[in-house]
Amino acid sequence: MKFKVSAKDGQTTLAIAGQLDALTSPDLRAEIDSIVESRPTRVEVDLSSLRLIDSSGVGALVSLYKRARAEGSRVEITGLRDQPLAIFRLLRLDGVLAGAVAKLPDEPKHPKSRG
Amino acid sequence: MSAACKLVAPVPHERAWQDFHAQVVSAVGEAFNNVVLHGYAGRSDGPIELRISTTGGRIRIELRDWGSSFDPSTVPLPELDALPESGLGLYIMKSFMDIDYRPGHPNLLKLTKRLSTTPDSAEATEPKA
């Protein structure tokens, strides 16, 4: 997993590439702390180069989302595709996070309604 | 795992196969993590035996471990609306593949999935509580 953080005009972009899983997600912790504490107006999490995510990786991103929102930042996840997109759809993160997943491809809606 | 998925479908670039591949990779990854994080919790190492077979459009993965057992039926479904940060692994497994777990020495987890040719073939199904 590789990640890159850039900040400009009150916006922070966190681009994550490779695999975000139980082994690699702890490496993001310090960066998430730093992003949240800087309280940017908007946080973009660019996942266009993310190849694989597991439940631990989702947990790290949900943590970022919750904490950044609590500090008043807007969070948008962009670039979802392939396996990460399947996971986000299953976990209804596109729906639950409302505008957070702003740029989902126009593909099938959630699998069957649940719950 | 990707190579095994390719054995299931003669045309491994169609949408149904892509969904099938994403779901199998996801479920097996979670199964592996569960063994490492829970079955072998507190240990620096432990064996995991992985067997993969493919027949007639179906993939079957067997994971054997010699760690702590658990009862999948007692694990509650996550409250997705509450944005949980953990407790999602078994839900992902059950949603994406059929699972059969037999506790013992070793514990045996069987994950199976069929690649169908219908448009809805690779949809996830709601796991039973």
Query: Which of A96, A97, A111 minimises the CB distance to B124?
Result: A111
Q: What is the mean pLDDT of residues A28-46?
A: 95
> Per mean pLDDT, which range of A68-72, B16-20, B95-99 is the poorest?
B16-20
Position A98 confidence tier, pLDDT thresholds 50, 70, 90: very low
Burial class (CB in 10 A: 0-12, 13-18, 19+), A107: exposed
> In the predicted model, what is the mean pLDDT of residues A13-24?
96
> Which CATH code of 3.40.50.1380, 3.30.565.10, 3.30.9.10, 3.40.50.1100 fits the domain covering B2-114?
3.30.565.10
Q: What are the extents of the domains in chain A?
A: 2-100
Q: How far is CA A112 from CA A115, B22, B102, in A?
A: 10, 17, 28
pLDDT for the residue B123: 55
Mean pLDDT of B22-31: 96
* Mean per-residue pLDDT over chain B, rounded: 88
Identify whether the C-beta of residue A90 lies closer than 8 Å to the C-beta of residue A112.
no
Asked whether residue A109 carries a pLDDT value surpassing 60, the answer given is: no
- Comparing alpha-carbon positions, the chain A residue that sits nearest to B119 is A108
Q: Answer whether residue B107 shows pLDDT above 50.
A: yes
- Look at residues A56, A57, A113, A105 and name the one whose alpha carbon lies nearest to residue A82: A105
Q: What pLDDT is stored for residue A114 in this prediction? A: 37
Residue of A20, A55, A89 best to disrupt the B interface, most CBs of B under 10 A: A55
**Mean pLDDT along residues A99-111:** 49
- Average pLDDT score, chain A: 86
CA distances from B65 to A38, A46, B36 (A): 44, 36, 9
Q: What is the pLDDT of residue B32?
A: 96
For A113, name the nearest residue in chain B, comparing CA atoms only.
Answer: B126
Does any CB of chain A come closer than 8 Å to the CB of residue B50?
no
Cα A105 to chain centroid, rounded: 15
Mean pLDDT, residues B20-29 = 95
Q: Which of B15, B98, B127 is nearest to A112 (CA)?
A: B127
How does pLDDT run across A59-82, given as a tens digit for each residue? 999 999 999 999 999 999 989 989
Residue A94's pLDDT is what?
A: 73
Question: Which two three-digit tokens encode residue A14?
Answer: 């966190």
Q: Flag whether pLDDT at B109 surpasses 90.
A: yes
Q: Per-residue pLDDT for A104 more than 80?
A: no
Contacting residues for A92 by C-beta, under 8 A, at least 6 apart: A110, A114, B80, B81
> Would the pLDDT of A106 be above 70?
no
**Domain at A2-100: CATH architecture:** 2-Layer Sandwich (3.30)
The whole-angstrom distance between residue B82's C-alpha and the CA centroid of its chain comes to 24
**Could you tell me the pLDDT band of residue B6, with boundaries at 50, 70 and 90?**
confident
Whose structure tokens read 């095994």? B4
Asked if the model's pLDDT at residue B9 lies above 90, the reply is no
pLDDT on residue B61: 97
By Cβ distance, the residue of B21, B23, B85 closest to A63 is B85
Cβ-defined contact of B36 to A90 (cutoff 8 Å): no
Q: What residues are paired with A18 via a beta bridge?
A: A50
